[in-house]
Chain A
Amino acid sequence: MTDTAAEPPHASDPTYTGESGPIFSLGFRTAVLTLITFGIYRFWAKTRIRRYIWSSAALDGTRFEYTGTGLEKLLGFLVAVVFLAVYLGLVQIVLTFAGLSLAGEPNTPGEAMAQGAAFSLTFLALLPFILFAQYRARRYKLARTRWRGIRFGMDKAAWGYAWRAIGYYALALLTLGLLMPLATYRLTKYMTDRSWFGDAKFELGGRWTGLYRAMRHVLIPVFGLIAGSLMAGFLDQDWLIAVLPPVFVIWLIVGVVNYNVQSFAYTTSHTTLENGVSVDSRPQTGTVIFKYMIGSIAISLLLGILVMVFGGIFAVLFSGLFQMLEADGPASWQAMVAPAFVGVLGYLAVILAAGALSLALVVQPILAHYIATLRVENVAAIETIRQRAADEGADAEGFADALDVGGAI
């Protein structure tokens, strides 16, 4: 679109202004609160982090707003727990029984496989709920997002999504990934076509075959690996077996990241709002990988320093204890308090800092890149869009919280 000479009426580039310091501090403080409330604060923690991230993103001079509350997330979680506690408890006990009666101690490879299958059935039994939860979580996030005071929203259609997703993903799996673009496109379309900004509906254009460009670096290593091992078997060439797998596996990992980034770019760029507003997205796979690696290295270094500091204090206190032991014979338990305290404190500090650091140094930079490479065309047409009714949100994203679906933010 940029190669045409005439610019569209009025395009706007969204901006992201979030900084590492504030989000690290927010992430760390809320993690401490979560720890000392035995996990209850996690709903408020996520809400506060979202509020910061949403309000750091701006389009055409207006910042986004997240209006969700920790309380409604807690209530939604309780609803989901009541249901899932019963379901999961029953499923797991029955499946364990099935696993045991199939084979206590697997004697043949067949029995071992049957037993493995019975245990992994827990995941399959939960799969519909995981997919249901993914749709619900997205609906909740959209329903709690506003821009210029106008609500986003999404239709209630989570079960329809869950069944379709099972079908499409099964198809993709059975074809060794050949039909993955179909699954990605149709499922994205299912969600996009049910999303709204105010009274204007989103729509996903394009074609599912358009995703093969993004998929090629997944398919080449997958089929390369299969063909290579067949060839190696026929030709009896040992060096093929030594060289091919590592090359293809690294290729595949990069390919999967590339597919995630570029399928997002394709589907986002083909998304339009009813009244002529359209979006263009050009994230770079290389930049995403680079930011991820730089962030991970920085986190390892910082955590390493933290471990060294606490480890040093611990060692000093502990060696003091040993000297005392040698000098005075039996040590009292009081002497253990200081080293134990430093040890526990150091352990907690590292765990909590790790979460907050990954938010500040990996999640946010990558998110910022996605936003910086976004462009909204014909933004003036938005002005005619009207408010939509509030979505009471039923159980918020309780199922996603209970099943740990939904990732970093």
Chain B
Amino acid sequence: MRAPARFHDGERAKVHDVEVALGPDRLTLVIEGTTLPAPLRWPLSDLRALRGQSDARRIVVTRAEDTGDESLQSPARLEIEDTAFRDWLLATRPNLFARDTRPGTRRKVALWLGGAAAAVAVMLFVILPLLAGTLARMLPLEREIAFGKTVTAQMERLLGAREIGALDCTEPAGRAALDAMTGRLMARQDIAYDLNVRVFDHEMINAFAAPGGQVVLIRGLIEEAETPEALAAVLAHEIGHVVHRDPTRAALRTAGSVGLLGLVFGDFAGGAAMLAVAQRLIDASYSRTAETEADAFAHRMLAEADISPAAIGEMFARFREIGGETPGALAHFASHPQLDARIDAAQAAIPEGFEPRPLLNDAQWQALQGICGADDQ
């Protein structure tokens, strides 16, 4: 076996025209050339070829050697274009394309992977939430209210309103009943916010709190509530979010975590979807705590207003009837903690010797259910 080749010695940017041959011991490759001071002998087992080269007619050979650089290969290169010799190398040298890695590489990778994951996790689950909490408290009240109005306006547009206020339900009798309900809940409370409770005309069964004391009940929820107490329970729960500044905290926290997650996932195809899923998981883990705390707040608020805290359980039981509980595997994605646990907690929150006082009379309740106008009833 003998063939012409081009050789670079790895020390100078020079081409040596050489001849390569199998050594007499059949264990070495001998490289000979007139410009080389002495023939080189490379052990066959150390031969390596460059991977992923665009020119398949040619093979570039080097030798395995720890020179301290990234490749674990000698800087010398042997370019072989001779078909027979190339095919012989490919056929007889199984280690030709071996990937050499330095010992301890796995440990290093594991260490850095763990370190990076830990840093990201500490940021997402400790530092950002703490910072969001602190900053939410520092935000001036009028700014929080202004921000809340922007959020509700966005929500309104999302629900299909052409202009701001188009979805507002303002039937006077219903409005009066809603104010009576809010007044009853707030009678013994002292909170920093001026509550602004609104009703949007949409069939969605939902309610939400926005920063700065904005609470929105959606028509679907009012229609599905079986008693005024059940509706008051949802309202109390949302007031709990307002008092805990949950929406403001969530907005600030998301601002921090979106940029961070974008960094981790990069912009490969599907990266945006990964980001959305991850953000959802993180939000869910936070909001579980937030929901439980809002529930606890609602229990106290209801009891102090002489309404049974069990009303909140009543509403959840109704939700389950309509929607069914999220099955186990998907539970982590749902932002509301398991309904069963919440119903039990509501039952347990009834104080000893509790005497409920009726909340609304039949006429008031009917007016409230028709707050968006009679045509949908």
Contact = CB atoms under 8 A, between A and B. Distances in A.
Decide whether A and B are members of one complex: yes
Interface of A: 17-19, 22, 31, 34-35, 38-39, 42, 48, 51-53, 55-56, 61-63, 65, 67-69, 71-72, 74-75, 78-79, 81-82, 84-86, 88-97, 100-101, 103-105, 122, 144, 146-151, 197-198, 348, 351-352, 355, 382-387, 390, 392-393, 401-404
Contacts of B77: 65, 148-149
B127 A89 contact: yes
B70 A352 contact: no
Interface string B256-293: 11111001111111110010000000000000000000
B38 interface: no
B128 interface: yes
A306 B52 CA distance: 29
B15 A148 contact: yes
Contacts of B270: 35, 38-39, 348, 351
Contacts of B264: 81, 85
Contact of A78 (B53, B115, B145, B150): B115
Nearest to A16: B54
B268 A42 contact: yes
Contacts of B253: 93
Contacts of B113: 78
Contacts of A404: 266-267
B158 interface: no
A149 B75 contact: yes
A350 to B, nearest CB: 10
- Count chain A CB atoms within 10 A of each CB in B15, B54, B116, B131 and give the residue with the most: B54
Contacts of A38: 265, 270, 274
Given A38-B274, A48-B52, A79 B112 contact: yes
B119 interface: yes
How would you classify the secondary structure of chain B's contact residues: helix, strand, loop or mixed?
A: helix
Contacts of A71: 101, 105, 109
A390 B220 CA distance: 69
A67 B71 contact: yes
Given A78-B116, A93-B132, A51 B51 contact: yes
A324 B290 CA distance: 45
Contacts of B147: 100, 104-105
Contact of B13 (A55, A93, A148): A148
A81 B116 contact: yes
B334 interface: no
B71 to A, nearest CB: 5
Interface in B52-80: 52-55, 60, 67-71, 75-77, 79
B112 A78 contact: yes
- Count chain A CB atoms within 10 A of each CB in B108, B135, B142, B270 and give the residue with the most: B270
B255 interface: yes
Nearest to A387: B11
Nearest to B248: A100
B37 interface: no
B252 interface: yes
Contacts of B188: none
Interface of B: 6, 8-15, 50-55, 60, 67-71, 75-77, 79, 101, 105, 108-109, 112-113, 115-116, 119-120, 123-124, 127-128, 131-132, 135, 138-140, 142-150, 212, 251-253, 255-260, 263-271, 274
A383 B267 contact: no
B130 to A, nearest CB: 10
A82 B119 contact: yes
Contacts of B271: 39
Contacts of A53: 54
Contacts of A61: 6, 15
A69 B69 CA distance: 11
A188 to B, nearest CB: 24
Given A75-B109, A144-B70, A39 B255 contact: no
Nearest to A393: B70
Contacts of B8: 62, 148-150
A89 B256 contact: yes
Contacts of A52: 52-54
A89 B269 contact: no
B145 A104 contact: yes
A393 B54 CA distance: 25
Given A93-B253, A104-B143, A51 B53 contact: yes
Contact of A403 (B120, B123, B263): B263
A352 B135 CA distance: 41
Contacts of A392: 69-70
Nearest to B146: A104
B12 A85 contact: no
24 contacts: A39-B274, A67-B70, A75-B108, A85-B263, A86-B123, A90-B131, A93-B135, A93-B253, A100-B251, A101-B140, A122-B259, A144-B70, A147-B13, A149-B13, A149-B75, A149-B77, A150-B8, A150-B10, A384-B12, A386-B12, A386-B13, A387-B12, A387-B75, A392-B69
A53 B52 CA distance: 10
A82 B112 CA distance: 9
Contacts of A95: 255
Given A51-B52, A71-B109, A104-B149, A88 B263 contact: yes
B138 A150 contact: no
Given A75-B109, A85-B119, 13 more contacts: A17-B54, A39-B274, A55-B54, A79-B116, A82-B115, A97-B252, A101-B140, A104-B149, A105-B150, A148-B8, A148-B13, A351-B270, A393-B70
B260 A89 contact: yes
Nearest to B101: A71
Nearest to A42: B268
Contacts of A355: 269
Contacts of A146: 75
A99 B68 CA distance: 50
Nearest to B151: A104
A81 B263 contact: yes
A384 B251 CA distance: 63
